[in-house]
Amino acid sequence: MCGIVGFNGKNKAVDILLDGLSKLEYRGYDSVGIAIKEKDIEIYKAKGKIVNLKEKIKDKELNGTCGIGHTRWATHGEPSEKNAHPHISNDGNVTLVHNGIIENYQELIEKLHKHGYTFYSDTDTEVLANLIDYYYKKYKMGPIDAINRTMVRVRGSYAIVVMFKEYPDELWVAKKDSPMIIGESKDGMYAASDVPAILKYTNTVYYINDMEAACLKKNKVVFYDLNGDVIKKESKKIDWDISSAEKEGYEHFMIKEIHEQPGVIEKTIHSFINDNKIVFNNIDRDELKKIDEVYIVACGSAYHVGVCAGYIIEDLSRVSVKVDIASEFRYRNPIFRKNEFVIIISQSGETADSLAALREAKKMGAKTLAVVNVVGSSIAREADYVLYTLAGPEIAVATTKAFSTQLIVMYLFAIELSRAKKQIKATEYKELIEEIKLLPDKTKYILDNEVKNIQKIGDKLSTFQDAFYIGRRLDYAIALEGSLKLKEVSYIHSEAYAAGELKHGTISLIEENTPVIGIISQEDIYEKTISNLVEVKSRGGYILTISPKKIDISKVSNYEIHIPETYKYFYPSLIVIPLQLLSYYISVSRGVDVDKPRNLAKSVTVE
């Protein structure tokens, strides 16, 4: 959840560190700090935003070409300058930044107290600095031995970048269960917790695995295993356009990323469709034939993709589907049979609970599929199969284009599974593919024709404190995402309900002008949802509906948003566009920091 940037090379480190940290602001943070190797290692910290740190160092002459930086999200200890990273060992021998949580830090503090170490902060990170220093001095075998012994001794999750006073031209990196990449360019070596931090400087990266370490010199990186032996790794190219990580004239990243959806949807579709056939190069077709039951496991918006996909997979392939929240799945001792197939959906590919769920599924013998946006991420590397969404970098905390591309991948998986199970005819297979290929233009139509209408509705609804979203079947599934989006970025309390559940208690909350967003796309059951909306309206509810024009609900709605027609399974891709726009414009009207809503982080890499 925090942000890490490290640089060792030819150029001034301070500029690269501050620029990289600014690219990671979307991850959420409450303090910031840097360490630069000048004559000695100089550390500067500030509570609050990066601009506060810039103000503090504006008159400093910082020319060092080796340094580390960090944006902190408080876990152990309040947001403060003393708790901000980097942290140092007692005599300044070790300086480091850390993402993650050290679970046995109290035990380690007691051990280090016995050896004369003291602590100035309330963080678990300071323990790491002193523990590395302890092993460094006890065994006198250099940085790699000290880091490896620390990794064995520590319980929890971490990604660390370490500077040693006696090795002034090196940065050392290690990780377990927290993301970290290493970048390489002609100007030097980079370490970062996420790609956007270094994309401006290089798209050549290395992925470091859990319980591995690396030494970043000025012009190369050397990797080590837990025994201290050198290991070889191949670099990878990140196929992301740097412009995707810039606003390019938009007021916020969120609205920019909403408008990018037609393009990334089309790109994702064409990455899997060749000659009007779905091609999953790395999934064994025979494996699909054997599937008896599917688990879909995810968190947040990715979970809502899973709920949508569950309806579609069951209906198309007649394979049973269970959709689980990752943080519950890993602890509830799920029952696996012989031919279970577990799908893990994650934008970052580093979501802590989803990664743990993946490992639990593999431990129990299930085949696993990752649907992720980041090439080489932990979930992508550890799953048996992987399907990549092509959303590019997503900077706003509230997901939009990653969600939409995840939906596309799950549509394609549902169709291909149905084909493998011989549940659809060749004609229907062709029709479904043809309709999916029309989705980019249909999403663009909404963005071209409904924005002003939605902006007007957003201004109207921005003063309310509660809202309800209702729908049935797939409409209910996408209502979950609409409700979450509103909560995330506007701070309006919102709930989503299956429309039939409204009268089982919740309707008692409907008062005069309570906003109720009705989603109506499923033709065979739309009349039942309309009946529910009529009940709401009779109790004073303020009704907004989202539907294709052919469903006439003008007598019920106070406001209507219309979407193009599509095949019944694919309506979530069209409905989500006005839901995202509505949340965005309500939030703008309320003066909320849309890209960085309070208390939220983009990638949740700790439990």
Residues serving a catalytic function are 2, 602
Contacts of residue 412, defined as CB under 8 A and 6 or more positions apart, other chains included, come to 269, 272, 273, 278, 280, 436
Contacts of residue 276, defined as CB under 8 A and 6 or more positions apart, other chains included, come to 430, 433, 434
Cis peptide before 143 (omega within 30 of 0): no
> What is the 8-class DSSP label of residue 86?
P
Strand-pairing partners, residue 184, are 189
CA separation for the pair 498, 129 (Å, rounded): 51
Q: Do 467 and 483 meet the contact criterion of CB atoms below 8 Å apart?
A: yes
CA separation for the pair 474, 567 (Å, rounded): 12
Pairing relationship of beta strands 515-519 and 542-548 according to DSSP bridges: parallel
> What is the 8-class DSSP label of residue 606?
-
Three-state SS for 168-206 is EEEEEEEEEECCCEEEEECCEEEEECCHHHCCCCCCEEE
The b-or-e profile of 242-270 (16+ CB within 10 A means b, else e) is eebbbeeeeebbbbbbbbbbbbbbbbbbe
Residue with tokens 């027609």: 565
Phi (first) and psi of residue 199, to 5 degrees: -60, -30
Q: Do 117 and 94 meet the contact criterion of CB atoms below 8 Å apart?
A: no
> What is the 8-class DSSP label of residue 500?
G
